Amino acid sequence: MWPLIRGTVSGIVGYLIGALLATVTTSSTFSGEFALVLGFAFGLMGWLFGIGMWNAWGRQWVGLPTKSEDADGWRRYFRFNTDHKVIGGQYLVTMLVVFLLAGLVAVAIRAELASPGQSFFAPDTYNKVMSMHGILMIAVAVAGILGAFGNYLVPLMIGADDMAFPRINALGFWMIPPVAVALLAAPLVGSFNAGWTSYPPLSVLNADGQVLFNVAVITFGLSSILGGLNIVATVITMRAPGMTWWKLPIFVWAAFAASILSLTVTQFFAASLIMILLDRIAGTTWFGAPGGGTALLYEHVFWFYSHPAVYIMVLPGMGVILEIIAHFSRKPLFAYKASVISFLSIGGIGSIVWAHHMFTSGMAQNLEGPFMALTELVSIPTGIIFLAAIGTLWRGKLWFQTPLLLAFFWIFQFLIGGITGIFLADFVTDLSLHDTYFVVAHFHYTIVGGSIFALMAGTFYWFPKVTGRMYNERLGKIFATWFFVFFQLTFIPLFWVGLNGMNRRVGTYQDNLGGVNRFASVMAMIMALGFVLFVVNLLWSAKRGPIAGANPWNARTLEWQVSSPPPKHNFATPPSIDGGPYDYGTVGAATHLSGATEPVG
Amino acid sequence: MTTSAELIEHGHGPSKQRRINQLGLWLFFASETFLFGAFISSRFATTQTETPADLNQALALGLTIVLLLSSISAYMAETANAHDDRRGFKIYTIATILLGTLFLGGVALEWTEALEYFPPGTIYGTAFFSLVGLHAFHVLTGLIALLVILFLGKEGRFGSKDSWPVEGVIKYWHFVDLAWVIIYPTLYLF
């Protein structure tokens, strides 16, 4: 606990210094916006140095020897620990907690929407609540799979002892707590009500809480950039002998493609939020029409990140699902190379489709056709991923455990998300669907389907590896089915109310939609209740579950060839790789790890 | 970015660690390019190629020359360090720091004029102060990093046996210079 106390104290001291500096040098008051920004910046540095960055890293900048902050036992999770498995675990637990929190906020939203009029929240409060739900869930989708499984598994799967930059890895994780503190402290200074998208002019004019939102999300972006940098560098430089590019497990490729995106385009989100801060604090006029600026600029800069961000969320999900489908079908992955090329081209094409979010924004009309065509082009590589999944399942020897069940649900969910996306990519239909609940239902199908279902599937699949114990299969299947069924019952009605003109981001709606909304609200609450099963299953099994052994799934990838949980530096001797990761049932295939016994399958 | 400590952590040879560090630094530059790219494209999106007549062209040209010269001295410092020439390393690093500081001083002078002619409340001023400010912040971080290697290098800590910290900082300095080579025509030369 000592590093946490150290970090908290130096974080608070840093905040006070920064805020004081702002008060002294400018006309900002101590609780003014500039003081909030400078205070956060200094507080962040103070926190990071205090939690262990100073000892593990900073000391060498002044010529002192560094001291490792690593520890053993449960304590290592509360320190500046550089072991990628510890960091993966930190991400997984943090993101699941944030997910459950944001889910509770969603229940509050559905409670308000259970009846057409205003029942619990004033209009402005409603917007603050839905903004909080939005940004927390976006954070989970961005950093859930990539932060947890990306960190935990990429080094294991490629036969490395750790990430390329272990300390940058720890730094990236420990930036998250200040982000959470700033977001949760925002209600003290008026909260933020402009949605997670934070469009100006509202985001330039609203309460000071918006400033905390901006600095928090910029910091979260920096963490995401550093994480992406680390995964890219790790995959390029740290592969074990024999682990050629075409032998990488498909999840590694997916994490690699998503990491290239988060390394690059995230800077545009930072830029758009910095512009808002400059407009608010430094008196610039990027988005102020009187000075010659334009709010439209924000949408371009913002969506240049935030559309590819969808692929930062979904690509790792695809990787997890293909991984699970191959191992539970006991077959080589169908169209492996085509899937890899699809991942990379989804990232590439996905970076030039952003303006399909802006068909009703008043942007130049001659851009609408090209952006529609490019958007629909993404469905080709995405379709190849579906074909790879179905082709692998085809005549496979299916082993219906919870991960595979969730993978089936994933395919259904993402299919619905993809099909409904066509109507939104087509600007003619989008003109009437924009900003309705049709959009809300669509992106919940793609993001919950594409990212959260994969996060759940991966949590079950790798649970025995991380904890060394097996989860409860029956409880897992009940949870998975529960989540899936009540998700459909919640969100299919929302397509319908959207088609009937119910607007998003407003707490009230037309009287005639009350019945359907009440139904969706009740179903949403039952869905939320189902997560009790998830939490109970994982907590109980982590302590009491049967010992799983090194390779309960008889899978061929490298992470299953070491003990559960894996030893500190992963491999006693550096592994060397002969066969491919999915050579199930292939006659004469060498084992994946030379010297390991051929798994029974 | 990272130095000898990670060598011990990984237990692989110095040449491999150096390759990893170099890749990491270049990936960082790729990422930073997007940040500068966002602001540069926003300058053109809002103001097209408008350049006010009040811009101090002579000062800007002078600043550009100062920064380019600092890249040469930074290169000399890196080479001197790689050849274990401690005196040369010290002299050229100090020269780089002085040129960088001169650049920042020039920017400060330019800002006092700019505040009068095109304050941040105008759209060109918005682009000007944002871009130059973003770049100046990078110059400042580069100066701090140069001071660190100057201070640590005094005892002959780096040299040819551990040249990565010097190489990394100097590469960053070149990157910041290169960013200015793009920003200068973006803001002044249309």
Write out pLDDT tens, residues A247-256.
999 999 999 9
Same domain, A20 and A116: no
Give the model's pLDDT for residue A30. Answer: 86
Question: Which residue does chain B place closest to A294, by CA atoms?
Answer: B46
Mean pLDDT for the stretch of residues A93-105: 96
Q: What percent of chain A has pLDDT over 70?
A: 97
Total CB pairs under 8 A between chain A and B = 119
Q: Judging by beta carbons within 10 Å of its beta carbon (0-12, 13-18, 19+), is residue A371 exposed, middle or buried?
A: buried
Q: For testing the chain B interface, which of A26, A54, A57, A61 should be mutated: the one with the most B CBs within 10 Å?
A: A61
* Residue A159 neighbours by CB under 8 Å, 6+ apart: A239, A240, A241, A243, A558, A570, A571, A574, A575, A576, A577, A593
Same domain, A186 and A54: no
Give the model's pLDDT for residue A592. Answer: 61
Same domain, A52 and A104: no
Same domain, A507 and A457: yes
In a domain, A356, yes or no: yes
- What token pair was written down for B139? 């110059």
* Residue B127 neighbours by CB under 8 Å, 6+ apart: B39, B42, B43, B46, B47, B187
In a domain, A530, yes or no: yes
At A418-476, the pLDDT tens digits run: 999 999 999 999 999 999 999 999 999 999 999 999 999 999 999 999 999 999 999 99
Mean pLDDT for the stretch of residues B14-23: 90
Predicted TM-score of the model (pTM) = 0.94
At B29-77, the pLDDT tens digits run: 999 999 999 999 999 999 989 899 989 999 999 999 999 999 999 999 9
Same domain, A388 and A513: yes
Domain count, chain B: 1
- Contact between A434 and A509 (Cβ < 8 Å): no
- Contact between A383 and A390 (Cβ < 8 Å): no
Q: For testing the chain A interface, which of B19, B34, B39, B50 should be mutated: the one with the most A CBs within 10 Å?
A: B34
Same domain, A199 and A72: no
Domain count, chain A: 2
Q: Is the pLDDT of residue A521 over 90?
A: yes
From A81, A104, A130, the end of a domain falls on: A81
Domain CATH number, residue B38: 1.20.120.80
- Contact between A231 and A223 (Cβ < 8 Å): no
Same domain, A510 and A372: yes
Give the model's pLDDT for residue A142. Answer: 94
Q: Which residues of B are less than 8 Å from A62 in CB distance?
A: 148, 151-152
B42–A286 CB contact, under 8 Å? yes
Q: Which residues of B are less than 8 Å from A237 in CB distance?
A: 16, 19-20, 23
Give the model's pLDDT for residue B5. Answer: 42
A271–B35 CB contact, under 8 Å? yes
B23–A292 CB contact, under 8 Å? no
Instruction: Say whether residue A164 is in contact with chain B using an 8 A CB cutoff.
Output: yes
Distance, CA of A459 to CA of A400 (rounded, Å):
16
Give the model's pLDDT for residue B4. Answer: 42
Q: Is the pLDDT of residue A74 over 90?
A: no
From A62, A81, A100, the end of a domain falls on: A81
Q: Is the pLDDT of residue B11 over 70?
A: no
B47–A236 CB contact, under 8 Å? no
- What token pair was written down for A372? 């529609």
Q: Is the pLDDT of residue B118 over 80?
A: yes
Give the Å distances, CA to CA, from B58 to A143, A173, A199, B108, B136: 48, 46, 39, 15, 19
Give the model's pLDDT for residue A589. Answer: 59
Confidence of residue A545 (pLDDT cuts 50, 70, 90): very high
Give the model's pLDDT for residue B161. Answer: 87
Give the Å distances, CA to CA, from B129 to A5, A407, B83: 39, 50, 41
In a domain, A527, yes or no: yes
Domain CATH number, residue A366: 1.20.210.10
Cis-peptide into A201, omega within 30 deg: yes
Mean pLDDT for the stretch of residues A24-34: 88
Same domain, A360 and A401: yes
In which domain, by residue range, is A26 found?
1-81
Question: Which residue does chain A place closest to B44, by CA atoms?
Answer: A297
Question: Which residue does chain B place closest to A300, by CA atoms?
Answer: B42
Same domain, A374 and A470: yes
Same domain, A498 and A402: yes
Mean pLDDT for the stretch of residues B169-178: 97
In a domain, A578, yes or no: no
Q: Which residues of A are less than 8 Å from B3 in CB distance?
A: 60
Mean pLDDT for the stretch of residues A266-295: 94
- Contact between A461 and A411 (Cβ < 8 Å): no
Confidence of residue A6 (pLDDT cuts 50, 70, 90): very high
Same domain, A225 and A318: yes
In which domain, by residue range, is B133 found?
4-188
Instruction: Say whether residue A8 is in contact with chain B using an 8 A CB cutoff.
Output: no
Q: Which residues of B are less than 8 Å from A169 in CB distance?
A: none
In a domain, A127, yes or no: yes
At B123-142, the pLDDT tens digits run: 999 999 999 999 999 999 99
Facing residue for B27 by CB, picked from A167, A263, A278: A263
Same domain, A34 and A168: no
- CA B125, B127, B130, B132: dihedral to nearest 10 degrees? -90
Q: Is the pLDDT of residue A212 over 80?
A: yes
A297–B42 CB contact, under 8 Å? yes
φ, ψ (nearest 5 deg) of residue B148: -65, -45
From A26, A61, A81, the end of a domain falls on: A81
Q: What's the gap in Å between the CA of B58 and the closest CA on chain A?
A: 25
In a domain, A382, yes or no: yes
At B74-116, the pLDDT tens digits run: 999 999 999 999 999 999 999 999 999 999 999 999 999 999 9
Give the residue, A179 or A70, on which the prediction is more confident. Answer: A179
Give the model's pLDDT for residue A590. Answer: 55
Give the Å distances, CA to CA, from B105 to A136, A563, B172: 42, 59, 20
The amino acid at residue A304 is F
Q: Is the pLDDT of residue A594 over 60?
A: no
Q: What's the gap in Å between the CA of A229 and the closest CA on chain B?
A: 6
Instruction: Say whether residue A161 is in contact with chain B using an 8 A CB cutoff.
Output: yes
Mean per-residue pLDDT over chain A, rounded: 93
